[in-house]
Amino acid sequence: MPEGHIVHRLAYQYRQQLGEGKLRVSSPQGRFAESAKRLDDSSLTSTDAHGKQLFLGFGDEGYVRVHLGLYGKVTFGTAPTPEPVGAVRLRLESDRAYADLRGPTACELITAEEKDAFHARLGPDPLRADADIEYAWRRISKSKRAISDLLLDQKIVSGVGNVYRAEVLFRHGIDPHLEGRRLPRAVWDIVWADLVTLMRDGVRLGRIDTVYPEHTPSAMGREPRVDDHGGEVYVYRRGGQDCHVCAATVTTLKVNGRNLFWCPTCQKR
């Protein structure tokens, strides 16, 4: 599932490529046809992202809420717009560009009030200027749940997925099984600041890179990582391999249906 940096990047791309003039709005697949008809010949007036939720604003007509889920993706292109290929849920097109949305978990037209309700249910997003770090800390500091579990709870911290949670915990030597209530406040502040930095880099680069300069392939004389997620990481999807820092074996365990990765030496309790 795409993590929050991808959704914020999409918000920027929609705004840059389709944010001027009237748009032709359609649903070649047909599952969004009625709402697409309402939006046809209107303008994209705003784009917004909160965690893994994307909101495309169309003035008085409301907002298209998109959640990509496991299979959703967006393809951008330039005019002339080709015939749709595959199950295109939503197509936006102007005289110079187009965007096709395929396979999202959610694609619905909602009101401004409904959009506000979604924001209210989501935890602070490290990529948003209005993020309330104190809210997240209050929830974490009172919880007996593992910090690795809390970081994936979108009601506590929004936009962090499996990659960022594994990597930020490694970067600060935190045992993923540590209860939230046992995490020192000073450490939480550092973790939050690092998430802000890493996720901003993710928006800019379109990939997740988490290793420090001294652990890059060129610095260590090792082969670059080959993975469909891209980016250089410490532990994510590296179960059974040597840790880049201490050479211990990276451990993996399925917890609550998600694979957890950590170094038992670098991340002791």
Q: Can you give the pLDDT of all 269 residues of the chain as single tens digits? A: 789 999 999 999 999 999 989 999 999 999 999 999 999 999 999 999 999 999 999 999 999 999 999 999 999 999 999 999 999 999 999 999 999 999 999 999 999 999 999 999 999 999 999 999 999 999 999 999 999 999 999 999 999 999 999 999 999 999 999 999 999 999 999 999 999 999 999 999 999 999 999 999 999 999 998 877 668 999 999 999 999 999 999 999 999 889 999 999 999 86
pLDDT reported for residue 226: 82
Q: Pull the structure tokens for residue 184.
A: 């020192």
Going from the C-alpha of 231 to that of each of 69, 177, 196, 211, 218, the distances in angstroms are: 21, 25, 17, 9, 14
What is the per-residue pLDDT for 268?
A: 87
Amino acid 208: pLDDT: 93
Catalogue the active-site residues: 2-3, 52, 258
Question: Per 3-state DSSP, what percentage of the chain is helix, strand, and coil (rounded to 5)?
Answer: 35, 20, 45
